[in-house]
């Protein structure tokens, strides 16, 4: 797809600002685009791809990497619109147009392409979280340990972190120095053996195994490097070490790597993201060109000023001055409420007022730091009869009936996948008991064979009851018939599986709630039909891979007429005319786990910044002065982040009883005790320090103090118990 004659470079650049134009037209050498919130980075990336092609760069030599399938889909659509043609994706590494995909999708394509070289079966499965938990439970048992002492979710978190650091099981074992670490290393080793037995990989294997393949096979790396002359990476601040190495190795040959990101929006350290990857880009590439996109097209001046003042407190960032030509807007509303119930009611009241002013419910979102805050908010919305939805996109593919049906497809594609095989062998019930499965597993272990291989020769196994033998043989024959059918279109195969497996009849027979489950299965068939339309040359394996790579945000579809509830982490990349952020209290935002860790506290501030910059026109912030936790009502302290916002842009409203209002007014009128800027003070825990700044927000006066031993801290003066020294 040369497309040189089809693209007018000047037309491509006509509506871009000068910084956007610089970013889009940079040709050779590394490029860092520092893209502020709402600065039109997707437009720049889209135009950059098209501009490269207008200069004669073959589309097949351009690689663009995003973080979600949804973002990749949107980018493909936009690039297609600019090029005047649809960009189809066949799930392969070699395509005649720009490859736009996620890191994990790229890893999957590379591993499929070089499966023999990296020691994988060509039809390997990709396990999702639920599948991984089943495998890790087996691994814990194989290591002769207890899931009570080593919960699967905790173990998987450790294994995931290790893989993100490119640590194999043996490397993890070498670095484990305590009892828990050594045992997790044993589980990790067993987990890897079980994955290999099932011809499966997990989500984190996709980047890790790709990098290890590059390191071990220079010819493989050279081929992939030669394939992609220009590389673009979006959301670079969210890359972990494995993804960083993957990108770095790919870019070594041509060095035409363009990364786009914003350190101020790096909020995924808890899943391995390393902000240093973007902060140190110019160290990795000293000749890099840097372009800053500072014009915000999303928010009002007031919202942008609040966000900018807040994030300026962070040290780990790249300087930029966000600005906008949008209207001034109105100050944010800060609701100081008596309790969490008052808070929810007050937020709902504000949303109702905005609805009466013309905002649709679908234009509103409520964000929170932790899911525990969601329940009271949901109750208040229900009582007010306001339609709402909770953004949990991945839930569809985690439903039992969906995982059941997908397990059938996975066994058809990869019969060595014993996690899926055991799930469907007697679902629906077909006379194959747990005892029969156990006998088959024992025989498989004794003969060093897989469960599927044993099922194919079930007639040779002694000790099985004839009824069970017949049921196993019939099941195996049913799977073999499906394996003989065409793998595309996927919809046809899926419909056949649902019907002839007896699963549809099973759901109809149960009736009641299961009819809803049948509707969900029908929705899965619809999704397969959509896949077939979008991927005319697709395959069953590619469809299963797409499903396995779905993330929370990917599943979030436009849903007109409903207020959206979601965590601040899930809000990344979205925008709403009206945004409410609840629970702005110490211990919630910032979270209690980060109080004594400056780097983690900065991430919490970035998280708050991300939430604020999702708002286009109206911003509502709220704090409950008391909140029930585990049956106890506890007093809270306002988030320090409120003190870091410009007071003149916060319209404070107290919500609660008269006595509460009076208490708030008294707090607001309270002087900054006897302290002043520049004064030396002593704290019982932090020692001696100097007050650098004093500010007031809501009902609290705060001081930023530089302690000699403990560094810089922000303390609420009313509760800090400071002793003046001079």
pLDDT score recorded for residue 558: 55
Pairing state of beta strands 723-724 and 680-683? antiparallel
Q: Is 659 exposed, middle or buried (0-12, 13-18, 19+ CB in 10 A)?
A: exposed
pLDDT digits (tens, 9 = 90+) for 448-506: 889 999 999 888 887 888 998 999 999 999 999 999 988 778 999 999 999 999 998 88
Average pLDDT, the chain: 88
pLDDT digits (tens, 9 = 90+) for 552-603: 445 555 556 899 999 999 999 899 999 999 999 998 999 887 877 888 999 9
Cα angle, residue 267 at apex, residues 246 and 19 outer, rounded to 5°: 75
pLDDT score recorded for residue 593: 79
pLDDT score recorded for residue 631: 63
pLDDT score recorded for residue 671: 41
Distance of CA 685 to the CA centre of its chain: 37
DSSP H/E element including 483: helix 466-484
pLDDT score recorded for residue 1: 45
Q: Which CATH class is domain 125-198?
A: mainly alpha
Task: Give the separation between CA 156 and CA 73, rounded to whole angstroms.
Answer: 29
Task: Give the side-chain half-sphere CA count within 13 A for 715.
Answer: 25
Where are any strands of DSSP class E within 550-614? Answer: 563-567, 576-581
Cross-strand partners of 638: 585
Architecture (CATH level 2) of domain 395-549:
Orthogonal Bundle (1.10)
Task: Give the separation between CA 725 and CA 119, rounded to whole angstroms.
Answer: 68
pLDDT digits (tens, 9 = 90+) for 639-648: 999 999 999 9
CA dihedral 505, 506, 512, 518 (to 10 degrees): -70
Band of residue 527 on the pLDDT scale cut at 50, 70, 90: confident
pLDDT digits (tens, 9 = 90+) for 318-377: 888 899 999 999 999 999 999 999 999 999 999 999 999 999 999 999 999 988 888 889
Cβ neighbors of 522 (< 8 A, separation 6 or more) are none
Mean pLDDT of the region 161-187: 93
pLDDT score recorded for residue 699: 54
pLDDT score recorded for residue 710: 79
Joined tokens for residue 355 = 């609805």
Which CATH superfamily, name and number, covers 303-392+556-655?
A: P-loop containing nucleotide triphosphate hydrolases (3.40.50.300)
18-118+207-295 maps to CATH 3.40.50.300? yes
The secondary structure of 76-117, three-state, reads HHHHHHHHCCCCCCCCCCCCCCCEEEEHHHHHHHHHHHCHHH
Distance of CA 511 to the CA centre of its chain: 36
pLDDT score recorded for residue 513: 44
Residue numbers annotated as active site: 41-42, 234-235, 265, 614
Cβ neighbours around 462 below 10 Å, total: 6
Between 226-240, 390-404, 524-538, the lowest mean confidence (pLDDT) is in: 390-404
Band of residue 526 on the pLDDT scale cut at 50, 70, 90: confident
**pTM score of the predicted model:** 0.80
Give yes or no for residue 658 having a pLDDT over 50. no
Give yes or no for residue 3 having a pLDDT over 50. no
Between 310-324, 350-364, 528-542, 707-721, the lowest mean confidence (pLDDT) is in: 707-721
Mean pLDDT of the region 381-404: 81
Percent of the chain topping pLDDT 70? 91
Peptide bond before residue 489 is cis, with ω within 30 degrees of 0: yes
Band of residue 397 on the pLDDT scale cut at 50, 70, 90: confident
């Amino acid at each position: 797809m040369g497309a040189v004659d089809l693209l007018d470079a000047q037309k491509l650049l006509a509506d871009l600002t000068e910084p956007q134009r610089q970013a889009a037209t940079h040709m050779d050498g590394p490029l860092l685009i520092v893209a502020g919130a709402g600065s039109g980075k997707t437009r720049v990336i889209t135009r950059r791809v098209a501009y490269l092609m207008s200069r004669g760069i073959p589309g097949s030599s351009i690689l663009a990497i995003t973080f979600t399938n949804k973002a990749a889909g949107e980018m493909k659509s936009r690039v297609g619109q600019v090029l005047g043609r649809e960009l189809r994706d066949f799930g392969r590494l070699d395509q005649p147009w720009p490859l736009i995909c996620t890191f994990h999708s790229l890893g999957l394509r590379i591993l499929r392409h070089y499966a023999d070289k990296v020691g994988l079966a060509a039809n390997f499965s990709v396990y999702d979280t639920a599948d991984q938990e089943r495998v890790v439970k087996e691994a814990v048992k194989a290591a002769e340990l207890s899931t009570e002492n080593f919960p699967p979710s905790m173990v998987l978190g450790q294994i995931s972190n290790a893989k993100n650091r490119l640590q194999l099981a043996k490397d993890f074992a070498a670095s484990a120095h305590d009892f828990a670490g050594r045992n997790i290393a044993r589980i990790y080793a067993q987990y890897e053996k079980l994955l290999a037995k099932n011809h499966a990989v997990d989500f984190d294997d996709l980047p890790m195994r790709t990098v290890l393949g590059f390191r071990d096979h220079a010819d493989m790396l050279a081929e992939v490097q030669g394939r992609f002359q220009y590389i673009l990476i979006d959301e670079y601040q969210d890359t972990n070490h494995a993804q960083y190495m993957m990108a770095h190795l790919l870019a070594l040959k041509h060095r035409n790597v363009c990364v786009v990101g914003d350190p101020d929006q790096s909020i995924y350290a808890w899943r391995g993201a390393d902000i240093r990857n973007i902060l140190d880009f110019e160290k990795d590439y000293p000749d890099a060109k840097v372009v800053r996109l500072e014009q915000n097209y999303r928010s009002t001046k007031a919202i942008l000023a609040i966000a900018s003042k807040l994030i300026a407190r962070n040290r780990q960032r790249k300087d930029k001055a966000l600005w906008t030509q949008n209207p001034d807007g109105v100050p944010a509303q800060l609701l100081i409420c008596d309790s969490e119930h008052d808070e929810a009611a007050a937020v709902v009241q504000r949303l109702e007022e905005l609805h009466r002013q013309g905002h649709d419910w679908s234009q509103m979102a409520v964000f929170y730091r932790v899911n525990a805050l969601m329940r009271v908010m949901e109750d208040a919305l229900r009582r007010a009869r306001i339609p709402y939805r909770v953004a949990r996109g991945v839930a569809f593919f985690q439903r039992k009936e969906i995982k059941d049906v997908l397990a059938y497809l996975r066994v058809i594609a990869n019969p060595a996948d014993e996690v899926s095989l055991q799930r469907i062998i007697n679902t629906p019930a077909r006379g194959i008991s747990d005892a029969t499965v156990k006998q088959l597993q024992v025989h498989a272990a004794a003969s060093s064979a897989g469960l599927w291989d044993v099922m194919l020769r079930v007639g040779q196994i002694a000790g099985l009851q004839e009824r069970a033998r017949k049921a196993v043989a019939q099941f195996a024959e049913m799977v073999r018939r499906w394996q003989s059918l065409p793998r595309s279109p996927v919809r046809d195969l899926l419909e056949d599986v649902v019907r002839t497996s007896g699963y549809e009849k099973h759901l109809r027979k149960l009736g009641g709630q299961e009819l809803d489950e049948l509707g969900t299965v029908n929705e899965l068939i619809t999704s397969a039909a959509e896949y077939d339309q979008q991927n005319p040359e697709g395959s069953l394996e590619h469809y299963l891979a797409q499903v396995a790579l779905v993330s929370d945000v990917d599943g979030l579809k436009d849903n007109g007429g409903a207020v959206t509830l979601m965590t601040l982490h899930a809000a990344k990349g979205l925008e709403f005319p009206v945004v409410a952020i609840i629970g702005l209290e110490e211990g919630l935002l910032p979270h209690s786990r980060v109080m004594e860790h400056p780097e983690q506290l900065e991430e919490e501030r970035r998280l708050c910044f991300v939430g604020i910059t999702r708002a286009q026109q109206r911003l509502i912030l709220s704090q409950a002065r008391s909140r029930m936790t585990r049956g106890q009502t506890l007093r809270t302290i306002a988030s320090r982040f409120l003190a870091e916002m410009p007071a003149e842009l916060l319209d404070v409203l107290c919500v609660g009883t008269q006595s509460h209002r009076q208490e708030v007014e008294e707090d607001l009128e309270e002087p900054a005790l006897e302290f002043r800027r520049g004064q030396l003070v002593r704290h019982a825990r932090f020692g001696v320090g100097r007050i650098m700044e004093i500010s007031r927000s809501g009902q609290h006066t705060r001081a930023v103090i530089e302690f000699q031993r403990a560094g810089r801290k922000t303390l609420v003066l009313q509760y800090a118990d400071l002793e003046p020294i001079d």
